[in-house]
């Protein structure tokens, strides 16, 4: 009896910004890594180079064995033409365009190169859509097989943009849990009573409210240390450093820059905060939960879908220093309550927000799209 040959792998090209500062790139990298380890998908990661793209970060991915290519980002047209050339060489069955505005340029390239299936992944509940770019998104949506929101909140945002509802699905982001495997062995009572916020410094994030809340705590007699981990442009960081001086909290705040030991930092700390104006699915908050921290997030779309207020964390009113200070004070002074929140949050993170679960959902989507062509 003749043996049946294995089905050919689905070829999937992931196109995303090479800025490395947001969750879109992290998700794309994760999906490529997972595909390499599985039997069904042959991936290629294509990064759109920006002025701030660190070539060392790109080389790290290559050194890890990831299939990586880059296209120049000096103009949208040049990016599109370079991606068309890559598509014609790689011949993907599916092109996945991650994040704004790369999902526009990626799908234009996919159409020109006649890629059979296009997928748009939206990573935030709020983006810089002009009327013209929204029109482009709606035009491209008609020629796109699936539109993925990285949370239920993002899915609702996509529906509000009047994109075709029958194409929109939610696949929640997931995190790599292995770095937090020792979290349960780090007793909450033994951790430092310090606050950690892991986030890039950008207009989207609300570090200022957190600093103002820290100053309010100081007036109440509480002086916890605050660790700010993340990179960003000087125009965002320097005003925050000046604000620390104006508020008299500079000795309590450490700007760590790019931190390569985030899991260890979180697992040694009691509280993780994400003060933000909007999110898609906040990976840093999920990591805080997986690490066994008591978590606080701003009450905004994207965060509200992650935290169950009073059960897995606290939602503080958006851009409200008093509300955030009250939440921090409650966790600092009511350790048994904070410990229970942390325990609940860790359980939810490990059960619902693993990268494995996210990867399985994406792979199922890609395989479904390609198999649909057979019928």
DSSP 145: S
Mean model confidence pLDDT for the chain = 95
Closest Cα partner for 98 from 35, 12, 165? 12
Asked if the domains 10-174+354-372 and 178-352 are classified in one and the same CATH topology, the answer is: yes
Question: How much of the chain, in percent, has pLDDT values that exceed 70?
Answer: 98
pTM of the complete model beyond 0.75: yes
Q: Which fold has domain 178-352?
A: Rossmann fold (3.40.50)
Model confidence pLDDT, tens digit, residues 91-144: 999 999 999 999 999 999 999 999 999 999 999 988 889 999 999 999 999 999
pLDDT of residue 27: 92
Q: Which residue has the tokens 């990268």?
A: 355
DSSP 188: G
pLDDT of residue 4: 46
Q: Tell me phi and psi for residue 254, to 5 degrees.
A: -120, 125
Neighbouring C-beta atoms of residue 65, cutoff 10 Å: 9
pLDDT of residue 72: 96
SS3 135: helix
Q: Which fold has domain 10-174+354-372?
A: Rossmann fold (3.40.50)
DSSP secondary structure letters along 147-161: EEESSHHHHHHHHHT
Domain limits, the chain? 10-174+354-372, 178-352
Q: How many helices (H) and strands (E) does the chain have?
A: 13, 13
């Amino acid at each position: 009896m003749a043996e049946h040959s294995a089905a050919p792998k689905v070829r999937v090209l992931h196109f995303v910004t090479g800025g490395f500062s947001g969750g879109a790139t992290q998700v794309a990298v994760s999906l490529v890594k997972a595909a390499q380890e599985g039997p069904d998908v042959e991936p290629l990661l294509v990064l759109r180079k920006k002025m701030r793209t660190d070539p060392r970060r790109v080389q790290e991915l290559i050194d890890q064995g990831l299939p990586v290519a880059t296209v120049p980002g000096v103009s949208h047209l040049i990016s599109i033409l370079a991606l068309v050339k890559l598509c014609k060489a790689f011949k993907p069955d599916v092109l996945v365009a991650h994040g704004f505005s790369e999902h526009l340029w990626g799908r234009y390239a996919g159409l020109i190169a006649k890629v059979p299936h296009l997928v748009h992944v939206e990573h935030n509940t709020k983006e810089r859509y002009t009327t013209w770019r929204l029109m482009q998104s709606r035009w491209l949506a008609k020629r796109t097989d699936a539109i993925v929101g990285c949370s239920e909140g993002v899915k609702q945002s996509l529906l509000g943009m009047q994109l075709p509802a029958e194409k929109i699905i939610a696949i929640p982001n997931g995190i790599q849990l292995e770095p937090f495997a020792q979290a349960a062995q780090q007793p909450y009572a033994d951790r430092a009573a310090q606050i950690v916020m892991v986030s890039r410094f950008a207009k989207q994030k609300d570090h200022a409210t957190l600093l103002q809340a820290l100053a309010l705590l100081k007036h109440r007699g509480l002086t916890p240390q605050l660790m700010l981990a993340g990179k960003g442009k000087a125009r965002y960081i320097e005003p925050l450093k000046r604000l620390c001086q104006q508020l008299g909290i500079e000795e309590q705040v450490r700007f760590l820059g790019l931190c390569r030991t985030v899991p260890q930092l979180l697992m040694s700390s009691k509280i993780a905060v994400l003060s933000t104006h909007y999110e898609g699915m906040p990976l840093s908050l999920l990591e805080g939960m997986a690490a066994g921290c008591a978590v606080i997030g701003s009450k905004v779309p994207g965060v509200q879908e992650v935290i169950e207020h009073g059960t897995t964390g606290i939602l503080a009113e958006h851009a409200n220093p008093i509300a955030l200070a009250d939440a921090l004070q409650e966790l600092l002074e009511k350790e048994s309550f904070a410990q229970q929140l942390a325990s609940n949050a860790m359980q939810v993170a490990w059960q619902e927000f693993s990268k494995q679960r996210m990867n399985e959902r994406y792979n199922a989507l890609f395989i479904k799209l390609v198999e649909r062509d057979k019928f």
